[in-house]
Amino acid sequence: MPIESPRLWSQRQLLLVGGALVSVLFVLSLFIGQNPLPVLLAAGQSDADISATVQMIFTQIRLPRALITLVIGASLGLCGAAMQSLLRNPLATPGLVGSSSGAALFAVLVFYLGGGVMSWLLMPLAGTLGSLLAMAFVFALAGRDSSIVTLILAGVAVNSLALSLISLVLNLAPSPYAVQEIVLWTLGSVANKSLRDFLLLMPATLAGWWLLRGIGPSLNTLTLGEDTAATLGVNISRLRWRVFLAVSLAIGAAVSTAGSIAFVGLVVPHLLRPLVGYEPGRLLPLSAIGGAALLLAADIVVRLFPGHLDIKIGVITSMVGAPFFLYLIVRTRRTQL
């Protein structure tokens, strides 16, 4: 008879270890790149020009990139855990409510129509708007008090619609260069970002995170189904709205800043769930930390490719995430046999 082995680490210990890991990866991310360790190389030199260049690389390139990676990774992990807990489905992703493809569609439209000098501002605004509109569309399509299955189907339908519209935009693109630019953007990248991009990413992200604070216990009650949760005093439709709105805000901001980065929101909660005894509420903060750690690590890997091979971070997460996910499915199947 399988007996539960005692949990090795407490929640506080897990968060501390996760936080330490993220800190190490964040610092590594500042120092690793095409020009390895510029800050350390320059440390012993007194030449003012070198120092200025190094400082510029550090503050204008490395720091924004690391910060954006950290925040987007945390958003993906957090939103993935929230969606999986809300829908009681380990296959749910943050993009399930259409937020990811809606944001991508509107961002691509900005590309296509040409935001001009204002595109740095238009992109995040359009992305967040697209994300929110897609979510609202999913809700309208599913109807009030709909079942989880109907919501998921509506999400799939809206995602397909948004992706087909992105294809249409690509089809109608005026030049091959525009197509290339759009396609490369949709692959997902945190390269070439400025502090301004980071600051534009933050408002919607923080709003999303704020909405998710304190919902752990409500998500825990959903373990026994919506009827039981409702009789325990949880307002199910309000909880759904809260999670979907939070995910739309955070993911909309993330996608419009860095394109679609797949698998982090799916795999991270999966990987960490056993560590918190499968409890949805305890998974949320840990999944945010895990997402940040995974994306920072992926971004370091991207920068370690030899020469000037420009591999996008979204490609790396997919290449690592997909086989890992297959492994999880096989493992789950084995344990069920």
Partner 1 sequence: MSLLSIQALNVTLAGRHILKDASLSLARGELLGLVGPNGAGKSTLLKTLAGLIAPDSGQLTLAEAQLDALPRDQRARQIAYLAQERTAHWPLTVQRIVALGRFPHLADWQQPSEADRAIIDRAIIAADIDHLRQRRFNTLSGGEGMRVLLARALAVDADVLLADEPISALDPAHALSVMQLLRDTCERGHAVIAVLHDLTLAARFCHQLVLLHQGEVIAHGAPQYVLNDTNLSRAYHVTPWQAGEDDAIILPWHLCKPDTHREG
CB nearer partner 1, residue 119 or residue 146: 146
CB nearer partner 1, residue 233 or residue 306: 233
CB atoms within 10 A of CB 207: 15
Residues 276 and 104: beta-carbon distance below 8 Å: no
Site string for partner 1, 256-275 (x = CB under 8 A): -----------------x--
Number of residues that bind partner 1 (CB under 8 A): 28
Residues 73 and 292: beta-carbon distance below 8 Å: yes
Selection from 274, 119, 135, 155 nearest residue 208 by Cα: 135
CB nearer partner 1, residue 229 or residue 296: 229
Site string for partner 1, 210-249 (x = CB under 8 A): ----x--xx-xxxxxx-xx-xxxxxx--------------
194 contacts partner 1 (rule: CB under 8 A): no
Q: Which residues of 12-31 are buried (b: 16+ CB within 10 A; e: fewer)?
A: eebbeebeebbeebbeebbe
Residues 22 and 73: beta-carbon distance below 8 Å: no
CB nearer partner 1, residue 203 or residue 217: 217
CA dist list (Å): 237 to 124, 148, 226: 28, 11, 10
CB nearer partner 1, residue 261 or residue 276: 276
- DSSP secondary structure of 186-212: HT----S--HHHHHHHHHHHHHHHHHH
The least CB distance from residue 224 to partner 1, in Å, is: 6
Query: From CA 23, how far away is CA 261, in angstroms rounded?
Result: 21
The least CB distance from residue 6 to partner 1, in Å, is: 7
CB atoms within 10 A of CB 109: 16
Please report how the helices 119-142 and 148-171 are oriented relative to each other, as an axis angle in degrees rounded to 10.
140
Which amino acid belongs to residue 79?
C
The least CB distance from residue 326 to partner 1, in Å, is: 22
Query: From CA 143, how far away is CA 3, in angstroms rounded?
Result: 43
The least CB distance from residue 329 to partner 1, in Å, is: 17
| Choice from 17, 28, 88, 324 touching partner 1 (CB under 8 A) | 88
The least CB distance from residue 33 to partner 1, in Å, is: 41
Residues 108 and 237: beta-carbon distance below 8 Å: no
CB nearer partner 1, residue 67 or residue 83: 83
Which amino acid belongs to residue 317?
T
Interaction residues for partner 1, span 133-172 (CB under 8 A): none
CB nearer partner 1, residue 181 or residue 279: 279
| Choice from 9, 120, 278, 305 touching partner 1 (CB under 8 A) | 278
The least CB distance from residue 90 to partner 1, in Å, is: 9
279 contacts partner 1 (rule: CB under 8 A): yes
Site string for partner 1, 24-63 (x = CB under 8 A): ----------------------------------------
| Choice from 1, 8, 48, 309 touching partner 1 (CB under 8 A) | 1
Q: State the Cα angle at 303 between 47 and 16, rounded to 5°.
A: 95
The least CB distance from residue 317 to partner 1, in Å, is: 25
CB nearer partner 1, residue 47 or residue 227: 227
Residues 33 and 192: beta-carbon distance below 8 Å: no
Q: Name the strand (E) or helix (H) holding 39.
A: helix 38-43
Binding residues vs partner 1 (CB under 8 A): 1-4, 6, 88, 214, 217-218, 220-225, 227-228, 230-235, 273, 277-280
